[in-house]
Amino acid sequence: MTTPEAKLVCRNVWKLFGAEAEEFLASHDRHPDPDAIAEAGLVGAVRQVDLDVHEGEIFVIMGLSGSGKSTLVRLMSRLIEPTGGDVLFKGENLLKASQSRMIEIRRHQMGMVFQHFALLPHLTVLDNVAFPLDIQGMDRAAREARAREMIELVGLAGKESAFPRQLSGGQQQRVGIARSLAVEPEIWFLDEPFSALDPLIRREMQDEFMRLQTKLHKTIVFITHDFDEAIRLADRIAIMKDGEIVQAGTPEDIVLTPATPYVAEFTKNVARAKVIRTRSLMTAVAGGEEDGARISARSNIAEAAPLFLDGATHLGVTDDDGRIIGRLDREAVVSLMLQG
């Protein structure tokens, strides 16, 4: 499974809450079953998680409240000490790292955005964004220059000297985003960043987030409880339930072939046309010629559909370089959309 570009890898990661959890895990061959956990009076917050996050992708961990997703993201940055397993960051086992090494890694290579923003109330926007750099010991001029750059990036220029309580929720989270990016992290954790926002603002922030990502190409672990948000943003999704990952894959995989009835519950109301990409529905054409309208292989069917309105029977599907790699037929699109 470990592909060369895997940035962050979790191997058999466990978090059990309760007394003597580590001994318990060791004595059960590192794979205790749920009954044994309950019997020992422990709570299995995260159980047997294996996953890898690739360089430059948006990896979404989706689950309802209590599913262990927030715990999992904190295990990845070792904010919570795992009970067992390995967390490899760029090949280095974080669980073996010393306290000072951990501080070093967090200072320079990790960034995190929090659900309730976690802005320091006594600092201005500028000082909040510059705070991680200040902690590193960077001098005032350099850190403020960098902070201004980040504030500009998230579109808050002019608000530098405001205090957090003077900003709206959306603006506060922009500050949180700017702050987490100030250290130029290699991995970017977002823990339900938009959950505390109103639906309209949430939509706007999702767009903003995608805009930033096309610019920055960060490796991202994104936590959410909102399946639509997951579908919208993810390159790959892991769905969690009761501390376990029940299915991991691309949004298309999950919508088309839900692994369990639990996952199917989420997918059944999702309009497939919004998930399935043209690449999956096209018939491959080797070195095809150009006629009529074209569409990118990355687009989804909902985006392709309007192009058939003028009566076209098929579209040319192009790759990132603009070469035609396949043909999308009207019938295929119609039958998919009729399925809902």
Q: Applying CB under 8 A, which of residues 6, 36, 64, 79 lies at the interface with other proteins?
A: 79
328 vs 48, 100, 275, 279, 336, CA distance in Å? 41, 55, 16, 8, 12
215 binds other proteins (CB under 8 A): no
DSSP-derived 3-state class of residue 52: strand
* Residue whose CB is less far from other proteins, 86 or 134: 134
Contact (Cβ atoms closer than 8 angstroms) between residue 111 and residue 183: yes
* Residue whose CB is less far from other proteins, 96 or 122: 122
Length of the chain: 340
Bridging pattern class, strands 283-284 and 324-329: antiparallel
In the stretch 38-77, what mask flags binding to other proteins with x, by CB under 8 A? -----x----------------------x-------x--x
Q: Applying CB under 8 A, which of residues 20, 104, 152, 184 lies at the interface with other proteins?
A: 104
Question: Which are the contacts of 71, defined by CB distance < 8 A and separation ≥ 6?
Answer: 15, 45, 46, 80, 243
Amino acid at 173: Q
Amino acid at 62: M
Residues 105-164 that bind other proteins (CB under 8 A): 105-108, 110-112, 114-118, 120-124, 131-132, 134-136, 161-163
Residues 221-280 that bind other proteins (CB under 8 A): none
Binding-site ranges for other proteins (CB under 8 A) = 43, 66, 74, 77, 79, 103-108, 110-112, 114-118, 120-124, 131-132, 134-136, 161-163, 165, 180, 183, 189
